[in-house]
A and B are shown apart, each in its own frame.
Chain A
Amino acid sequence: MRNRLLLTASALAIFAALVSQIGPISRAQSSGIDTYAITNARIFPVSGPVIEKGTVVIRRGLIAAVGSQVVAPADARVIDGTGLSVYPGVIDANTTLGISQPPAAPAILVTRATTTPPVGPTPAPSPILASAAFYSAAHPGFQPEALAVDSIQPGGTAIEAARSAGITAALAVPREGILAGQSAFINLAGETSQQMIVRSPVALHVGFTPLRGGGYPGSLMGVFSALRQMLLDAGRLREANQIYARSPRGSRRPEQDKSLVALFPVLARELPVVMQANSEREIRRALDLAEEFKLRVIISGGADSWKVTDRLGDVPVLLSLNFPKRTTAQMAEADPDPLRVLRERVEAPRTAGRLSAARVRFAFQSGAMTNIADYLANAAKTIQNGLSRDEALRALTINAAEILGVSDRLGSIEVGKIANLTVTRGDLFDRNARITHVFIDGEPVDLKPAAPDAPGAGRATGTWTLNVNLGESDQSVTLAMQQEGETVRGSIQGAFGSAQIANASINTAGELRFTVPVTVGGQTTEATFSGTITGNTLRGTAQTVGGSPGTFTGTRAGANPAATPAAIPAATPPATPPMSGSLSGVWTLSLAVGANMVSGTLTLAQQSATLSGTLQSPFGTTELTNGTMGANGFSFTTSAEVSGRVVEMTITGTVTGNQMSGTINSEIGSTTFTGTKPQGSARAHLSAW
């Protein structure tokens, strides 16, 4: 019995080993296809001139052929690349992609020994043969021996989002610490971490953030002192090892320390050091430290690097595309932002162009941006601010590969290199470009179909008709929303009263959340709505304070252009003038006034090209004048009393189905509005059409 058990156990173990051995092979064969050809595409090899119409052949994970005369092999799955552009796979040169969250920081012991830093000397038996153990390997914040590869986890939403944004490979950097550890260059696909690794270690990473919680170093000054001491200690251990190796007899052996040993390749300039530095003085300090210890340094972040180009010389920069922007709300009592901050926000997209002009080597990184879809959009902003398209593409591909030591296998479309490709419809840097295919290690990866085509594409924008059930019966609510980036504003109107929504957010997966006060049975309480937008439908749950969970479903009135696949032109309505009477009816308007959404009602009567009616808004009810309807839309004027004075307003807009949108111009400013005609009248309108 016991033997049988043992036998079974060992058989299982062998089987498990076999399975793990054949894992990668089975993956490559999972689709049964390992050869692809993208034909008739515009190809940007980066290593050479653009091929206006050519073919890229991928076989067994590598680029097998590229050129205008290349013919797709018979066994290849052929992708018709007409209208597509093929780029080397986009690289993000500094991320925490795949790196699992670290466990809680170990408690720091503070004892009598606090007069001596943890870097202090241990008692030495002889003054000359002092111990080498100056630095505990477990000292929090200083773990140069930590390897990113040991904590990489495949899959996950962050990696998926990055791939959907066109990113194929990244530098994975340990998350925390002053000496955070050593990074790995990974491909963003693979079932195991081992499959993902392209090269490891790539560099040692230094952040200058002091430790929290009372341990040394607790200030920026201490950070520099501690780094300096540790590098000195490593240098001494290296020297002591060499002396001891020459003549072990008669000397005490130097005590080894894995943290210090991990710094040997750094001191030998074999392993570069990536230092996190953004402001001019941070960069200068980092360069000073690197100079002091003759380190091979790479600057990461680099916001102010354009001010230090003379000093940088051939030091490369991993330039963050996470551009700063104002996040604080408009508030009268707040201090204005310092001039320096205002300048920095405006200068940020100009840095890349300036580095290029000064011939400083740089690659782009996402810099922990919250919405990875901004990565390419912000790269496009650097082009609008002085960087050439060619240089921007290089900063996303070959430059990153060169700086991170993988240009022999990645970064350009050349035969024999890893088949990482980013394929778009439209130019990569075009606002309206759409990522159609991403190949990693020669395999196409699934892209999230719902990924926004461009940042700020308001997938939430529009007027939604919701059916909300908070426990008793379905109630009808109109939800008007406008999305800008990740922020959403809007208001509800209907069975629960009228109110502004608050705390609204939407992520790239279309997950929407907001809170809003609702009035049920005379009681006003706050409800939290969370749901998912899929095309023009919205469904999720609604929860009131103290109430039982409810549900809601909704549809968007009309089509949202951003959510409509660009490939289906039929979805775009013809631009012919609507027939007489099509504008007539009662429209619910939603307009932005300052930071608020305001609702209004527009009652229109259309007589061929003439419009008349009334506008009801928080500013009162006013008659429309000069109303006309033409091929390019409608316009009318009206006036309203705002803050005690009469303001003339000119309103222009266009109509699509039962949706309208346009602009209100007046002497006190301009704003945009959207409008919808409730279902009943919309149906009437459709039948008339």
Chain B
Amino acid sequence: MKGLLAIILLFAITSVAQTARAQTSQQRREPEAQETLIRNATIITVSHGTLENSDILLRRGKIAAIGQNLKAGAGARVIDASGKFVMPGIIDCHSHSMLDAINELTLSVTSMARTRDVLNPNDPDLYRELAGGTTTLNLLHGSGNAIGGLNTVVKIKYGRPIEEFIFPGAMPGIKFALGENPKRSNLQIATQPRRYPATRMGVEEVIREAFTRARDYKAEWDEYHAAQKRGDKNLIPPRKNLQLEPLVEVLEGKRYVHSHCYRADEILMLIGIANDFGFKIRTFQHALEGYKVAKEIAQHGAGASIFADFWGYKMEAYDAIPYNAAVMTRAGVNVSLNSDSDERARRLNIEAAKMIKFGDMTEEQALKMITMNPAWQLGIQDRVGSLDVGKDADVVIWNGHPLSVYSRVDTTFIDGEIFFDREKDLAGRAGILRERAQLEQAEPNRPPAQGGTSPATPRGRRPAYLDDDDVWDGGNNQR
């Protein structure tokens, strides 16, 4: 009953949020009409165990039933999944896919920057991520600023207009960053003046100063509204400040903070600020030294979204251990494993598998780190993250156990619709090659007879010792 109420409430919020856009731009698509029945699969629900030789029915974008000998209506798509595994779509709580710009590096507080403004629904990385069983992404601003821009939570509805990607009802969020990246220790640009802050002390001051301004800003508006109520005439409203409004929302608990961090001391520092100003951190991103302050993180009520076993790539990343997830989990922290990389986002199942080796996590605990836990971290736990009746039909069929390196994805469903199908992909490849050959014959695609420019050097792969936060590629795509 309580769950139902929550869903109804969620829908109410969603519809309010959607009205503005839906009225003016494209209407949201009707839920997938076609029913799908996946039969005889091993169903890993994540929330309530693994069911052998069971069926799962997807109807109108939702999981309609899970059990044995389920019946589908006429015209349903029936998939025999004997010997195969079905699990919920993977949720990546730290992604920079499909962003045409990642970092507004010019200022230390860029809370007015919105990832929603620069989404690219045609990014091919999205398709590759679907092929790895990932269905939901938390698209974050980069970590170049103490207070960064606003995030966007999306479902990877590759091939659809951007409006359909936006995860309805996901809690709005904002990126913060601590340590080397915001103080620019390793990202000094020779031709440009040094930006404040240059130390961890300065990072703290920048955040405190911004929240102090946000508090004053809120007071300014409160005073205006009070004057309005008193019936004062000829009031000129205060200036709407796009930089401070998101911070007011943080203070009011209407926006999640996802903070990039590495060291234990800076994690405690941010908890201190949050306590002083009366807000909560939703996730510590990376949190390589989270295991040192696991109790404090748990006490604050924050989650941690981390790498499985990736460290040593810069000064502040030396003290990480692969048992980080296990230690924090045992201390009661909600832990997710993220990619922060278009490449790693294709194989988050392997990151989860590592948790069984490092710290003896159970299969369910490991899988929760890429499904239910990140769902909670993004405030979408009532919609996705497990295979439960009533949840969104974001479902992935694997040809083997998803924690095996030998397994791969056969089919990825989002809201009951197929967005990746391995067989269809293989069948389509010849056609793509044919199209390419044809296009290359066309006049505007032929190389100039003489005097052409030399082709661009292929973009380098990320060096293994750097995370995406450290890759400098000219400013616009810096992560």
Give A contacts to B, CB under 8 Å.
Answer: 110, 112, 114-117, 119-121, 124, 127-130, 132, 134, 210, 213-222, 224-226, 228-229, 232-233, 236, 239-240, 243-244, 246-247, 250-251, 254, 280-281, 284-285, 288, 291, 310-311, 323-331, 334-337, 339-340, 342-343, 345-346, 348, 482, 484, 487-489, 502-505, 592, 595
Q: Is the CB of B451 within 8 A of A504?
A: yes
Task: Fill in one digit per residue for B40-60: 1 if any A CB lies within 8 Å of its CB, else 0.
Answer: 000000000000000000000
Which residues of B lie under 8 Å from residue A335 when comparing CB positions? 455-456, 458
Known A-B contacts A127-B223, A221-B104, A236-B239; A330 and B447 likewise in contact (beta carbons under 8 Å): yes
B106 touches A218 (CB 8 A): yes
Interface residue B185 (Cβ < 8 Å from any Cβ of A): no
> Contact between B106 and A345 (Cβ–Cβ < 8 Å)?
no
Q: How far is the CB of B266 from chain A (nearest CB, A)?
A: 18
Task: Please indicate the chain B residues that have their CB under 8 angstroms from the CB of A226 in the complex.
Answer: 112
* B105: interface (CB < 8 Å): yes
Report B96-110 residues with CB < 8 Å from chain A CB: 100-110
Q: Which of B229-237, B278-286, B341-349, B368-376 contacts A (4 or more CB under 8 A)?
A: B229-237
For B117-155 the 0/1 string (1 means CB < 8 A from A) is 111111000000000000000000100000001000000
Q: Is A285 in contact with B117, judged by CB distance below 8 angstroms?
A: yes
Interface majority SS (helix, strand, loop, mixed), chain B:
loop
> A324's closest neighbor in chain B, by CB?
B444
> In the bound complex, do residue B445 and residue A326 qualify as a contact, i.e. CB atoms below 8 Å apart?
yes
Q: Which residue of A lies closest to B119 (CB)?
A: A281
Question: Which residues in A have their C-beta under 8 angstroms from that of B161?
Answer: 284
**Is A220 touching B444 in the complex (CB atoms < 8 A)?**
no
Within the complex, the shortest CB–CB distance from A518 to chain B, in Å, comes to 19
A595 to B450, CA, bound (A): 6
Q: Which residues of A contact B444 (CB under 8 A)?
A: 323-326, 345-346, 348
Does B24 lie at the interface of the complex (its beta carbon under 8 Å from any beta carbon of A)? Answer: yes
List chain A residues, Cβ under 8 A from B455. 328-329, 331, 334-335
A221 surroundings in chain B (CB, below 8 A): 101, 104, 110, 113-115, 117-118, 141, 149
A214: B residues at CB distance < 8 A: 106, 189, 191-193
CB within 8 Å for A329 and B106 given contacts A128-B235, A339-B432, A339-B436: no
A488 to B449 CA separation, bound complex (whole angstroms): 9
- Residues on A with C-beta less than 8 A from B199 are none
**Contacts known (A232-B240, A331-B454); A128 close to B227, Cβ less than 8 A:** yes
- Say how far B105's CB is from chain A's closest CB, in angstroms: 6
Known interface pairs A128-B238, A225-B114, A311-B25; A219-B162 also in contact (CB < 8 Å): no
A281 contacts across to B, CB distance below 8 A = 100, 119-122, 162
Q: What is the minimal beta-carbon distance from A369 to any residue of chain B, in angstroms?
A: 14
Give Cα A129 to B239, complex, Å: 9
Assess A121 versus B476: contact at CB under 8 Å? Given A215-B106, A595-B449. no
Q: Which of B105, B240, B451 has a CB less than 8 Å from the CB of A219? A: B105
Residues of A within 8 A of B449 (CB): 482, 484, 487, 489, 592, 595
How distant is A249 from chain B, measured CB to nearest CB, in Å? 9
- Taken together as a complex, chains A and B put the C-alpha atoms of A472 and B106 apart, in Å, by 60
**B242 and A220 contact, CB distance less than 8 A:** no
**A-B complex: 9 closest residue pairs judged by Cβ atoms:** A329-B452, A334-B455, A489-B450, A127-B220, A220-B101, A345-B444, A342-B439, A225-B112, A221-B113
| Residue B210 at the chain A interface, CB threshold 8 Å | yes
Q: Once the chains bind, are B436 and A342 in contact (CB under 8 Å)?
A: yes
State whether the Cβ of B404 lies closer than 8 Å to any Cβ in chain A. no
Query: Are A219 and B238 also in contact (CB < 8 A) when A213-B192, A225-B112, A328-B454 are?
Result: no
Interchain CA distance A243-B451 in the complex, whole Å: 63
CA distance A221 to B119 in the complex (A): 10
Q: Are B476 and A210 in contact (CB-based, < 8 A)?
A: yes
Choice from A115, A124, A134, A336 contacting B206 with Cβ under 8 Å: A115
CA distance A117 to B106 in the complex (A): 9
Minimal Cβ-Cβ distance residue in A for B192: A214
The answer to whether B223 touches A128, judged by C-beta atoms less than 8 angstroms apart, is: yes
Of B120, B209, B233, which contacts A115 at CB under 8 A? B209
Q: Determine if A224 and B117 form an interchain contact, defined as CB atoms under 8 angstroms apart.
A: yes
Contact of B407 with A by CB under 8 A: no
Check if B187 is an interface residue, CB within 8 A of chain A.
Answer: no
Q: How far is the CA of A593 from the CA of B152 in the complex (A)?
A: 53
Contact of A224 among B114, B120, B237, B241 (CB under 8 A): B114
User: What is the minimal beta-carbon distance from A230 to any residue of chain B, in angstroms?
Assistant: 10
Check if B11 is an interface residue, CB within 8 A of chain A. no
Residue B195 interfacial (CB < 8 Å): yes
- Contact yes or no, A110 B193, CB < 8 A: yes
CB proximity of A454 to chain B, nearest CB, Å: 15
A330→B122 contact, CB < 8 A:
no
A679–chain B nearest beta-carbon distance, Å: 27
**Interface: B428 (CB within 8 A):** no
Q: How far is the CA of A325 from the CA of B444 in the complex (A)?
A: 4
B242 touches A228 (CB 8 A): yes
Chain A residues contacting B453 (CB-CB under 8 Å) are 327-329
Q: Are B445 and A311 in contact (CB under 8 A)?
A: no
Residues of B within 8 A of A134 (CB): 239
Query: Is residue B440 within 8 Å, beta carbon to beta carbon, of the partner chain?
Result: yes
Q: Does B243 touch A at the CB level, under 8 Å?
A: yes
Q: Other CB < 8 Å A-B pairs besides A115-B210, A280-B122, A336-B440, 11 of them?
A: A114-B107, A127-B219, A127-B224, A128-B236, A233-B239, A329-B451, A337-B445, A346-B439, A482-B449, A487-B448, A592-B449
| Residues in B neighbouring A225, C-beta threshold 8 A | 104, 110, 112-114, 117, 149, 242
Q: Given the known A-B contacts A220-B117, A222-B110, are A130 and B220 also in contact in the complex, defined by CB atoms under 8 Å?
A: yes
Q: Considering the chains assembled together, what is the distance between the CA atoms of A464 and B451 in angstroms?
A: 21
User: Which of A219, A239, A345, A592 contacts B104 (CB under 8 A)?
Assistant: A219
User: Once the chains bind, are A328 and B452 in contact (CB under 8 Å)?
Assistant: yes
Chain A residues, Cβ within 8 Å of B447: 326, 328-330, 595
Does B446 make an interface contact (CB < 8 A)?
yes
Contacts of A218 on B, CB cut-off 8 Å?
A: 104-106, 475-476
A210 CA to B475 CA, complexed, in Å? 10
Contact code string B268-279 (vs A, CB < 8 Å = 1, else 0) = 000000000000
Question: Are B104 and A216 touching (Cβ within 8 A)?
Answer: yes
Q: Chain A: which residue is nearest B240 at the CB level?
A: A232
- Tell me, in angstroms, the Cα distance from A115 to B210 when the chains sit together: 8
User: Is there contact, CB below 8 Å, between B234 and A130?
Assistant: no
Nearest residue (CB) in B for A289 is: B117
Could you list 7 A-B pairs, sorted by A, with CB under 8 Å? A127-B238, A129-B236, A130-B236, A130-B239, A221-B118, A244-B236, A251-B236
Chain B: which residue is nearest A485 at the CB level? Answer: B448
Q: Which chain B residue lies CB-closest to A344?
A: B444
Q: Inside 8 A of B448's CB, which chain A residues have their CB?
A: 326-327, 329, 484, 487
- Interface of chain B residues 233 through 263 with chain A (CB within 8 A): 233-243
Residues of A within 8 A of B117 (CB): 220-221, 224-225, 285
Contacts of B472 in A (CB 8 A): none
Which residues of chain B are within 8 angstroms of A334 by Cβ–Cβ distance? Answer: 454-456
Instruction: Let me know if B105 and A488 touch, CB within 8 A.
Output: no
Instruction: Let me know if B442 is at the binding interface, CB within 8 A.
Output: yes
B465 within 8 A of A: no
| A220 contact set on B, CB distance < 8 A | 100-101, 117-118, 476
Q: Note all chain A residues with C-beta closer than 8 A to B439.
A: 339, 342-343, 345-346
Per the bound structure, the CA–CA distance linking A487 and B448 in Å amounts to 8
- Whether the Cβ atoms of A247 and B112 lie closer than 8 Å is no
Determine the residue in chain B with the shortest Cβ distance to A343: B439
Which residue from chain A places its CB closest to the CB of B161 in the assembled complex? A284
From known contacts A121-B241, A342-B440, A592-B449, infer whether A254 and B105 are also in contact, taking CB-CB under 8 Å.
Answer: no
A233 to B243, CA, bound (A): 13
User: Residue B196 at the A interface, CB < 8 A?
Assistant: yes
- Residue from A121, A244, A334 having most chain B Cβ neighbours under 10 A: A121
Question: CA A346 – CA B442 in complex, angstroms?
Answer: 7
Flag if A236 contacts B237 (CB, 8 Å): yes
- Chain B min CB distance to A307 (Å): 10
- Given A281-B119, A328-B455, answer yes or no on A219-B235 (Cβ-Cβ < 8 Å): no
Known: A114-B108, A218-B475, A222-B106. A345 touches B242 (CB 8 A): no
